[in-house]
Amino acid sequence: MTTQIFDREAALARVGDDEELLLELVKIFLDDYPINLSAIRSALAAGNPKGVEYAAHTLKGAVANFGADAVVKEAFELEQLGRTGDIAYANDNLQRLAAVLELLDLELRPLAAP
C-alpha cells in the first residue's frame, strides 16, 4: 500500500476551496521546488548551514500549501540542522526529502497537465 503525500482536502481548505488557485499553486510549486532542492544541495556541498536553513525553510513554506506533512517534516528537519549549524550528516535528511518530494511530484503533476 502506497501512502498518499498530497492531502487535497487540506490543500483546498488552505486556499478557500478555490480550485483555480490550487492549480496555480501546484504549477508554481512544480516549477520552483527543484530550484530549492538544488539550493539545499549546493549549500550542503559548500558547508553553508545558513543556506541550508534558508532553502529548506522556503521549500517547507511552499509545500505546506499541499498538506504534505511528510515533506514538511523532512524540510523542517533540514531547516533546523541549518539553524544549529549541524549539517555534517544532513545528506541523509536530504535524501529523505528528495524521496518524498518525488512522490509528491508524482501526485501533483497530473493536476498541472493541460
The helix/strand/coil state of 108 is helix
Spell out the domains of the chain, with CATH numbers in brackets. Answer: 18-109 (1.20.120.160)
Portion of the chain with pLDDT greater than 70, in percent = 97
pTM score above 0.85: yes
Portion of the chain with pLDDT greater than 90, in percent = 88
Distance CA 79, CA 74 (A): 9
The helix/strand/coil state of 70 is helix
27-65 pLDDT, tens per residue? 999 999 999 999 999 999 999 999 999 999 999 999 998
Count the helices and strands in the chain (H runs, E runs): 5, 0
Distance CA 20, CA 95 (A): 32
Which amino acid, residue 62?
A
Distance CA 32, CA 76 (A): 18
